[in-house]
Amino acid sequence: MEELFEKYWRGLLEPKAKLDFEEQLHNDEKISADYRSFAIAAEASKKLAFDDLKAEMTKPLAMPQKQRALKWWPIAAIILPLTIVAFLLATKTDSKKLFAENFKLPSVEQTRSDVDIQSTFAKLINSKDCAGALKFIDQLSADRTTNYYRFYEGICHLSSGDYEQAETLFGNLIQSQDSRFQADSEWYSLLTAIAKEDEDSTKKRISMILAKKRHPHLENTRKINRKIRSPLYNL
């Protein structure tokens, strides 16, 4: 019966069903009383809904798109600088990174003389056994310690973090003007200065290499020069 009451109350009954029901209401006191009770409760419920809808009308509308976008500004103002800092930290170049990018232990070339000794040494260097190589050089007699060994000794010191020794050896080699090791010594001397984080020395070495238009390490030195002059270097 409640379903029929509801349909009548909502005005959803077909004309014939509506007439039949109205006849029942007219003739049956019980149904009439029940419907009256139902209708009052239904109207009370409707009033609740009306009151709610009216309260809803005056609530502020959602902010327009522009304002909503503006609301994001405080968040963006925090996120954006953080993102930039994170990006800079991720892309910044420091001396260690620059050194690691450029330092490579060179493979050893053999000369015709002194083949056996040199061959043993070459094996140590090519297998990146710098400790073994340094020990090997220590055991060599003074007359056998040529620029060749001094050069690799410098590289091994550089590789193991003994920058002072490396710097001395490369400095001597540069001064000796031995054309076989001159250019490479300048290059590794630059890398030593970078590893030592010695800014003045780094700039001097760079200028020295850049002044030589046919220097074998010219291109790499230019790259280093660009990086150390970048604001992102050592941020």
Partner 1 sequence: MTDEQIIQNISAGAAKMNKAVRWIYQESGWKEQIKARLKKQGASDMESEDIFQEAICALVFNIRDNKFRGESKLTTYLSSISTKRWFTFRQKTQRAIDKGGNVMGDPADHTTTTPEEEILCQEERMHLDLALDTMGDKCKKVLKLWALNYSMQEIAQQMNYKSAGMARKKKHECLKRLQEKLIADPYFKQ
CB 96 → partner 1: shortest distance, Å?
56
Question: Smallest distance, Å, CB 19 to partner 1?
Answer: 19
What are 62's two structure tokens? Answer: 């959602």
Q: 174 CB contacts (<8 Å, ≥6 apart)?
A: 182, 185, 186, 189
Tokens, residue 35 = 């419907």
End-to-end CA distance of the chain: 82
Q: Which is nearer to partner 1, 38 or 103 (CB)?
A: 38
Smaller CB separation from partner 1, 8 or 151 = 8
Shortest distance, position 68 Cβ to partner 1, whole Å = 14
Q: Select 9 or 103, whichever has its Cβ closest to partner 1.
A: 9
Nearer to partner 1, 17 or 40 (CB): 40
Residues in contact with partner 1 by the rule CB under 8 A: 2, 10-12, 37-38, 40-50, 52-54, 56-62
Shortest Cβ distance from residue 54 to partner 1 (Å)?
A: 5
The H-or-E segment that residue 54 falls in is helix 29-57
How far apart, in whole angstroms, are the C-alpha atoms of residue 227 and residue 39? 84
- Do 202 and 194 contact (CB within 8 A), yes or no? yes
